[in-house]
Amino acid sequence: MVYLTGAGPGDIDLLTVKALKIVKKADIIIYDRLVNIELLEYAKKDVVLVYVGKEKDNHKVPQDEINEIIYQASLKYEHVVRLKGGDPFVFGRGAEEALYLVQRNQKFEIIPGITSAISVPAYAGIPVTHRGITPSFRVVTGHTKSSNDVANINWSSFVENETIVFLMGLHNIQLIVNKLLDIGKPPSYPCAIITDGTTSKQQVLVGTLETIVQLSKKAKSPSIIIVGEVVNLRKELNWFK
């Protein structure tokens, strides 16, 4: 059985109970760059560890190969854990891996994780919704096969007062800012970049659409970008030091 498992956003204490149980049972763990490696200490001493981390423009193992590694492991081991940062079905390519197994008649289970789209802003004192400020939030990928794909997002569909969370968007932040200005967001619109969220290395940069590109030079991956009036609540709700 393959367990496509979300490891959460970084803080080891945010791993779900179910995920922890399967990590302890795993015969092999195939894990990503964004997984807190301290989680691996809970695994059996004889567990097989396979690192398949990917960074921008440096895919150590291409996705097609990862799919096959998972499949081959499922033929050999009883408990195969595919461990991913955040949630496997939120821009984690978990569905691609699941479909690959379905096509080969291999059983799998999805173990959701706490997504960084909500938890990282929370650790920065920024709620993604707040009564009287925003009735909705949207999670958008900031990184696709090419910048053209990001440019082709239906930006005009964005609701005027909704919170927007961009995952993996640091490299395309200038494009993102330009598109938001194009749809009518004012230059003074609040936004923040959160790097290494929920961890002891967490860094929060708060600015506006006018200043955030310059501020982004102080940030590094992994980062998320959050845009909306809720960013202003950080002044009162910043609890994580």
Rounded Cα gap, residues 162 and 30, in angstroms: 36
Rounded Cα gap, residues 20 and 17, in angstroms: 5
The DSSP 8-state label assigned to residue 137 in this structure reads E
- Contact by Cβ (8 Å): 142, 172: yes
- The three-point CA angle 119-121-123 to 5° equals 70
Q: Residue 202 corresponds to which tokens in the numbers above?
A: 């967490």
The DSSP 8-state label assigned to residue 134 in this structure reads B
The DSSP 8-state label assigned to residue 35 in this structure reads S
Which are the catalytic amino acids?
Answer: 32, 54, 168
- Contact by Cβ (8 Å): 189, 231: no
Question: Which distant-in-sequence residues (6+ apart) come within 8 Å of 239 by Cβ?
Answer: 125
- Contact by Cβ (8 Å): 176, 213: no
For the chain, what is the total number of helices (H) and then of strands (E)?
8, 12
